[in-house]
C-alpha cells in the first residue's frame, strides 16, 4: 500500500532542506573560516532506484551517513572531481597535480564532515530536535556503481529528496557544486511530516517568509498525495 501525505505538507520538506543548506554556510564560516553562500538550484522527489541512472558513469566522490534518529534512513552527498579538487586546494592552499595527496584527501574528508554535519544540524534545529549521525564515509568511483551499492538496502517503497546546490565561497570566488540525497525511512518520514504544522517549525533565524507565504492552512479538505509518484519537482511550491 503506498504511503500518503497531505499535499500541503510538501512545503515542510522544502523548508527542511533549505534550512539544512543554509546552515552549511554557517558551518563553513565557523569551522573552516570560509565566508560562503549556498544557492539551492533545484529540489525534487524521486524514487531511489532512479538515482544511479541519473548520476550515470561520471567519476564522483560521495559521502554517506546513516541517520539513527527520525527520519532515519540515509544521507548521501556527491560532487564531481572538479569540485573535489577545488575543495582540496582551498582547504590546503596547495595545487592538485594529478592524484590527490594524503593531505588533500584528509582535507576533503574534513570538508565532507563540515558539509554533512552542517546540513543535518540545520534540519534538526528547524525541527527543534536532534538527529544523531556517524562520520561520513568518503568514497570515489563511478557514480552509477557507488549509488547502486549505497542504495542496495533501500526498500522499494522509499522516496528520496534530491537537492542540487552551489556553494559559493565568497573570498576566493570559488564555487562547489554539491548534490544532496536524503533517503529517509518511509514510515518514519511520513509520520514526522504528517504530525507537523508549519507553525511548529522554528523560523526565527531563517529567511523563509517567501517560502511560507503561500501556505493556505484554511483548506482542511485537501486530499493527501500519494508519495509513490516518481519524479516530482516541488521547488516552486
35-76: pLDDT as tens digits: 888 888 888 888 898 999 989 999 999 999 998 888 888 999
Is 9 a member of any domain? Answer: yes
189 pLDDT band, cuts 50/70/90, is: confident
d(CA 12, CA 211): 9
pTM of the model: 0.78
Is 26 a member of any domain? Answer: yes
- What's the pLDDT score for residue 68? 87
Is 226 a member of any domain? Answer: no
In 10 A of CB 7, how many CB atoms? 15
Is 205 a member of any domain? Answer: no
Provide the domain count of the chain. Answer: 1
Structural domain of residue 82, as residue ranges?
4-196
In 10 A of CB 42, how many CB atoms? 12
211 pLDDT band, cuts 50/70/90, is: very low
Contacts of range 149-154, beta carbons closer than 8 Å, 24 or more positions apart:
150/62, 150/64, 150/74, 150/76, 151/48, 151/49, 151/51, 151/52, 151/74, 151/183, 154/48, 154/74, 154/183
CATH number at residue 17: 3.40.1550.10
Is 227 a member of any domain? Answer: no
Is 59 a member of any domain? Answer: yes
Is 212 a member of any domain? Answer: no
Average pLDDT, the chain: 79
Within 13 Å, how many C-alpha atoms sit on residue 192's CB side? 22
Is 229 a member of any domain? Answer: no
Amino acid at each position: 500500500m503506498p504511503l500518503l501525505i497531505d499535499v500541503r505538507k510538501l512545503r515542510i520538506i522544502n523548508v527542511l532542506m533549505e534550512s539544512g543548506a543554509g546552515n552549511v554556510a554557517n558551518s563553513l564560516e565557523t569551522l573552516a573560516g570560509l565566508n560562503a553562500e549556498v544557492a539551492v538550484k533545484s529540489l525534487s522527489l524521486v524514487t531511489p532506484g532512479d538515482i544511479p541512472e541519473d548520476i550515470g558513469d561520471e567519476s564522483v566522490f560521495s559521502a554517506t551517513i546513516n541517520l539513527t534518529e527520525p527520519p532515519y534512513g540515509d544521507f548521501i552527498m556527491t560532487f564531481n572531481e572538479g569540485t573535489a579538487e577545488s575543495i582540496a586546494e582551498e582547504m590546503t592552499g596547495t595545487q592538485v597535480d594529478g592524484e590527490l595527496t594524503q593531505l588533500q584527501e584528509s582535507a576533503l574528508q574534513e570538508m565532507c564532515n563540515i558539509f554533512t554535519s552542517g546540513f543535518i544540524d540545520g534540519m534538526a534545529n528547524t525541527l527543534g530536535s536532534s538527529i544523531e549521525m556517524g562520520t561520513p564515509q568518503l568514497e570515489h568511483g563511478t557514480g552509477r556503481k557507488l549509488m547502486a551499492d549505497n542504495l542496495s538496502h533501500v526498500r522499494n517503497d522509499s522516496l528520496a529528496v534530491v537537492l542540487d546546490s552551489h556553494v559559493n565561497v565568497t573570498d576566493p570566488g570559488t564555487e562547489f557544486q554539491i548534490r544532496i540525497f536524503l533517503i529517509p525511512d518511509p514510515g518514519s518520514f511520513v509520520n514526522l511530516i504528517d504530525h507537523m504544522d508549519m507553525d511548529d517549525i522554528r523560523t526565527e533565524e531563517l529567511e523563509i517568509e517567501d517560502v511560507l507565504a503561500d501556505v493556505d492552512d484554511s483548506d482542511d479538505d485537501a486530499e493527501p498525495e500519494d508519495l509513490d509518484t516518481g519524479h516530482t519537482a516541488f521547488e516552486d511550491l
